Structure 1
Amino acid sequence: MTDSVNDTPLEDTRLFCVPINEYFAKDCAEVLNVYRRIAESALDVPDEGLNTESVFCREVDVLHALPDSPLKEARGQLHSLIVDGGWLIWAHAIDHVRALEHDILMKPPPVWSPLALARVTLEGCAFNAYLYDPSITLTQRLARSASMRMAEAQNGIHASKGFGRQEKDYAEGQKAEAEQLLSDAGAVPKLSRRGDKLVGYTLDGEEAPLNHTISSQIASFLPEWAAGSYPLLSGAAHGRPWMIARSRSKTGLAGEAATVMAAVMVVMGAMESGIAVWGGFFGVDVTEPLSQMHSAREEFIPRSQVLAHAFQILAQGPQILKALNDE
């Protein structure tokens, strides 16, 4: 993409060169609101409780059947950490969808922030799927929980260094508690080839890395129609100065409709895939909410194209007619 694209009036009708207008922005915000409300409803536990044959309930039964011991208690805590951590991550992702709804409506229109907010939502949904994946074994899930718990403890120590000795002592105490918990659970530290760095944990033969690489999972996590978007989101997050400079004009910053459209589509894909994983783990039928999301998406896509282009064409009608006559 080069600056010369903007020199031709006809090129301005292409979506990636179309400025955000308030009608297009409002429609995008509304469809995100619809998705968010459907997701919040889908995540409610049914009044009759969870299906006892669900992956979650079967795993709980296995853990409850263990003989009373520190191992049973520790593994129960690791399993609870997965469940509680997943709920927290979901709440975090949903909050960023809400933030994106408001961000799209900003005046002047946003330049890079929609893609950055969409990236947070996508990473949250994908990591939640890493924890709730219904296809993995219980021991693999516990191994992932063990690595997540230690990563959290290590991050706490790193963060405490700037807050004084008291905070550092507290963080080190939390790390010691995590090490005891993982030892009681039978999680064995896995070291680097040189043996000088902790890289993950093994539990009953199942391994999980200390630092999960989310980018390696996202390609398979997103539906096909939204796949391949993660590099775009990462580029937006790290390329903020370039995007702002590119969007600067004599009248101020001009955000592009394509940026918002990409963000909305990514969030749609992330939430649809995330809801499907959640339903698979907890044994909740999410067919209806996924159908509602699908219908909202199918109605939104053609409508958004019209809203994005129509007002641009009306605004630049004389220029377009002149370009056609010149040809």
Structure 2
Amino acid sequence: MIRARGLTKTFHRKSETVEAVKGIDVDVREGELVAFLGPNGAGKSTTLRMLTSLLEPTAGTAEVAGYDVTRHPAHVRSQIGFIGQGNGGGFSYRVLDELHNQGRFYGLGSAEYSRRAAELLEALDLGGLEKRTVQSLSGGQRRRLDVALGLMNHPPLLFLDEPTTGLDPHARANLWEHIGAMRERYGMTIVLTTHYLDEADDMAERVVVIDHGEIIADATPSELKRDHSDDLVTLVVAPGSAGGAPSGTDLLPDDEATLRTALASGDGEVRTDGAVAADGARTVRISTAHGDTRLPEAIEALRVAGFAVRSAELRQASLDDVFLNLTGRSLREEAA
């Protein structure tokens, strides 16, 4: 559905040259939902604008829905839907009029665009708002109208540029529910940009991480977290005499060698805090790719060795951990 090679965009501002996108190579297969993840200014939106033929590349090539974006931009636009960061509807225009006009722009006949508009109003929970002006809609309703406008030509490929920015959590969840339903109904390929980690993790089948105009990682969310981050198991271990320990023996958790021996059979890196509490408790941390199975294994190994586990916590790897390990900074902080 998308094939880009060496895609580059350079801007000139007075005496300064800014390379916003630096030779991106990316492929998107038919039916995929791919998220471009990165902080503001990373080059996500610029890449989308080139792929949608709205911005001419400085260098490189891209084919979208079978057409070259530079040589055949009109053909590309006929095959895609594009929902930008701003609202697409004119504020003083009525909802139904905007949908009908969008159909006319794509050359649809009156019967076809009327049918299509009615179908999308129902599917996107906009029924009853046909005569309302765009400016009178809530933020979530406006974004659902944007989705309807982007789908009027029944595109096989839909581009979403930060579709939920500015929406409250309920409106975000509602919009994604509708987008998911539209994708299932029409079998669309979807490409989106976002800096919301949960959207990329929960919705996308592939995540393309972009930083400073370059792709630094491209894989499924689970593969990215497996390859570039670890789960963290945190245990507070105290003296005890359970399991396999000799009767009446209290093992001290400051016996680091005994602790490490007990945990050596499992995977991951084991670290112990230098500080020991007054009652002898010590914190142990295990970095592992398999936190969900490593946690019960570690608790049982410590019990058998004679230690008591007072508390246990599992923090699973996130895409923010991936970005931090790849770039040295947090994507959450960058987005904020």
Higher relative contact order (CA 8 A, sep 6+): 1
Larger radius of gyration: 2
Between Structure 1 and Structure 2, which shows a larger proportion of helix residues? 1
Please, what TM-score do these two structures have when normalized by structure 2?
A: 0.23
Please, what TM-score do these two structures have when normalized by structure 1?
A: 0.23
